[in-house]
Chains A and B, each alone.
Chain A
Amino acid sequence: ETGVTQSPTHLIKTRGQQVTLRCSSQSGHNTVSWYQQALGQGPQFIFQYYREEENGRGNFPPRFSGLQFPNYSSELNVNALELDDSALYLCASSPTPGQGGLDEQYFGPGTRLTVT
């Protein structure tokens, strides 16, 4: 297992609500990326944070936002939840942001979000 932890493990929310997911990166890692994995699909990149700044974003609307803290832990916030937001949310940490080539990513166990 990696040293990346995520909380909570499972979450059930109602459409229109807001949710915050949390991730603690592996010791020594200053970069955190978030991915959304719908059932039966591969993970899709949401965004990356490096040294508390957003450092790349995938094709997700602005209601998906994030934060990275001085200890390099991170939050993913999703506003105005929609049914299609139901998915496994994965965070991954790495020692570098990966310009010129991404190295091994250390994934957490994920948060399963269900929107009803």
Chain B
Amino acid sequence: SQQGEEDPQALSIQEGENATMNCSYKTSINNLQWYRQNSGRGLVHLILIRSNEREKHSGRLRVTLDTSKKSSSLLITASRAADTASYFCATDATQAGTALIFGKGTTLSVSS
């Protein structure tokens, strides 16, 4: 079963606009991570936020985490065509040991 659920499933924006993706999960976690996947290839790690953190920035990425609501958001500012990809949140539930649990992902399309 999948722990996380991303919302929306698909998002289409113009270059220069901001893109926001949300993730909800079900159980207590240690860390939450966001990954990007281009065209069914390998996943690329974007950012990790620990359960005791509320916000983290990396370049054009901003991630927030609300453990009381079991939710996270990923904001990509000033989107570029190269940001077109699928984005997944992944959690390591405290009871799940060594597994990353992924959601179904958000497909982002950025047009120029």
- Show the binding face of A for B, using Cβ within 8 Å: 2, 4, 33, 35, 40-45, 48, 50, 55-56, 58-59, 88, 90, 92, 97-110, 112
Contact = CB atoms under 8 A, between A and B. Distances in A.
Interface in B16-59: 30-31, 33, 35, 40-45, 48, 50
Residue with the greatest number of chain A CB neighbours at <10 A, chosen from B90, B97, B105: B97
Given A88-B40, A109-B41, A110-B41, A43 B102 contact: yes
Contact of A101 (B44, B50, B99, B103): B50
A102 B41 contact: no
Main secondary structure of the interface of A (DSSP, over half): loop
Interface in B83-105: 88, 90, 92, 97-105
16 contacts: A33-B99, A35-B102, A42-B2, A43-B43, A48-B99, A50-B98, A90-B42, A90-B43, A102-B31, A102-B92, A103-B48, A104-B33, A104-B45, A105-B33, A106-B45, A107-B42
